Amino acid sequence: MAHSLWHGFADMGAVSASGPFQVARGSGARIWDVDGQEYLDATAGLWFTNIGHGRTEVANAVADQLGKLAHYSGFGDFTSDVTVALADRLADIAPVPGSKIFFTSGGSDSVDTAAKLARRYWHEMGKPDKNIIVGRTKAYHGMHVAGTALAGIPVNREGYGELMPDAESVEWDNAKSLLGLIERLGEDRIAAFFCEPIIGAGGIYLPPEGYLAEVRQICRDHDVLFVADEVVTGFGRIGGDSWFASTRFDLQPDMMTTAKGLTSGYVPMGAVFIAPRVAEPFYSGGVWWRHGYTYGGHAGAAAAAMANLDIIERENLLAEASRLEGDLAQALSPLAELDAVAEVRTGLGAVTAVQLADPAQALPMVGTMREHGVSGRAAGQGALQISPAFVMTTEEVGELADKMRAALS
């Protein structure tokens, strides 16, 4: 039977021919399809189900909020009490004290929000020519206009023409590449540098030793806003018992984009953390930033986020993510011995990439993994993405490694 749903990032001819993989329910680090088959969820949905599936506490919090007030406008002076409470709670864990919180509907919204705010900030500071936004090769920053323009994955930009002028790219692992761009174009023209602490969808590439500190200092030295894209790494996935990579590596970002783990994917929501320096011109009075989203700060989503944060704190899931950092490295590193595997990138955060020797085999391998009871995903150029829920146990990580070994063999 043909289905009407158009999937994201998919060869719809192939999907139509084989039919969709329909997930019916989940519990902890496991999911079940519509036929009742069980799978270890290797990717926590799409990097987001940090607290695991099936948390009725979150569902109940959302239902209670929707019964009182589903949402109201967040424009002008309107808001809801739960949205204010969430903003204050996030400000308390922000990498930069005194940060302001601007809510969005997801990660792509957050990136475009930060890109627009960077340019508008410099306009307010009397430097309207500082409008170049810089990304990196291999990078992924969502699929809105700014994020697509900044994409370091060429196929994600193909066929659209020039979406955003004044977008530049530098080498993902070479801080001197950023410095060279600034010196070539002039710091008086560059507004912001966007940086994923761990490159996610581009293939899970860990930052070289000292790289993050070096690019952060370059941005300080040349008055370029540093934007940490923590849509993936935020809310614990970076490990180190830290809420954010920006905290773990003391990056003190001018802005930080988040989503995914904010609600663990139970309801769509994103947030941009904005350091006092960037917020100040807009809080001094008389300046409107004409930007916002109908569902920004959605009351039901805010209730989900509050319940999600409650669970992370109560169950000490930041520490569990740190445990996973070690568990994944220990269990999955030996897969590099297999002929099918080129390398395993692991050891920082609750993420791992199993890079296949033949990148063309990544998508077929996702199907083979399902046959062995693992729901996985291909990322970058031939990598298998591993980013489980923080509740995945050490034993389950071992089970995941065994099943992946069987599939890869």
Structure tokens at 8: 């994201």
Measured CA to CA, the distance from residue 320 to residue 44 in angstroms comes to 14
CA distances to 13, 48, 95, 208 from 247, rounded to whole Å, are 44, 19, 5, 17
For 116, residues 6+ apart whose C-beta sits below 8 A from its C-beta are: 146, 291
Residue 204 has a pLDDT of 98
Residue 187 has a pLDDT of 97
Amino acid at 91: A
Q: What is the mean pLDDT of the segment spanning 121-140? A: 98
Is residue 31 within 8 A of residue 375, CB to CB? The reply is yes
Give me the CATH code for the 12-54+316-408 domain, please: 3.90.1150.10
Structure tokens at 156: 């994600």
Say how many C-beta atoms besides its own lie within 10 A of residue 184's C-beta: 8
**pLDDT per position as a tens digit, 183-199:** 999 999 999 999 999 99
Structure tokens at 344: 């395993």
Amino acid at 47: W
Amino acid at 117: L
Is residue 289 within 8 A of residue 279, CB to CB? The reply is no
Residue 202 has a pLDDT of 97
Look at the chain and count its residues. 409
Say how many C-beta atoms besides its own lie within 10 A of residue 368's C-beta: 15
Is residue 132 within 8 A of residue 191, CB to CB? The reply is yes
Is residue 22 within 8 A of residue 34, CB to CB? The reply is yes
Structure tokens at 355: 């890079």
Residue 155: beta bridge partners?
Answer: none
Is residue 350 within 8 A of residue 324, CB to CB? The reply is yes
Measured CA to CA, the distance from residue 403 to residue 368 in angstroms comes to 10
For 251, residues 6+ apart whose C-beta sits below 8 A from its C-beta are: 95, 197, 212, 213, 216, 226, 228, 245
Measured CA to CA, the distance from residue 202 to residue 331 in angstroms comes to 23
β-strands 23-27, 30-33 pairing = antiparallel
Residue 1 has a pLDDT of 63
Residue 261 has a pLDDT of 98
Q: pLDDT grade, residue 381 (50/70/90)?
A: very high
Structure tokens at 245: 């990579």
Q: What is the mean pLDDT of the segment spanning 366-375? A: 98
3-state secondary structure of 135: strand
Locate CATH 3.90.1150.10 in the chain: 12-54+316-408
Residue 207 has a pLDDT of 98
Locate CATH 3.40.640.10 in the chain: 59-314
Is residue 74 within 8 A of residue 297, CB to CB? The reply is yes
Q: What is the mean pLDDT of the segment spanning 92-105? A: 98
Measured CA to CA, the distance from residue 202 to residue 154 in angstroms comes to 10
- Residue written as token pair 């039901």: 300
Q: 385 phi and psi, to 5 degrees?
A: -85, 130
**pLDDT per position as a tens digit, 222-262:** 999 999 999 999 999 999 999 999 999 999 999 999 999 99
Global pTM reads 0.97
Q: Looking at 240-388, list the stretches that DSSP marks H as alpha helix, in order from N- to C-terminal side.
A: 245-248, 276-283, 299-314, 317-332, 362-371
Residue 123 has a pLDDT of 98
Residue 2 predicted with pLDDT over 80: no
Residue 285 has a pLDDT of 84
**pLDDT per position as a tens digit, 303-342:** 999 999 999 999 999 999 999 999 999 999 999 999 999 9
Q: 246 phi and psi, to 5 degrees?
A: -60, -30
Q: What is the mean pLDDT of the segment spanning 107-127? A: 98
Structure tokens at 113: 């929000």
Does CATH place domain 59-314 in 3.40.630.30? no
Kind and range of the H or E element at 344? strand 341-345
Percent of the chain with pLDDT over 70: 100
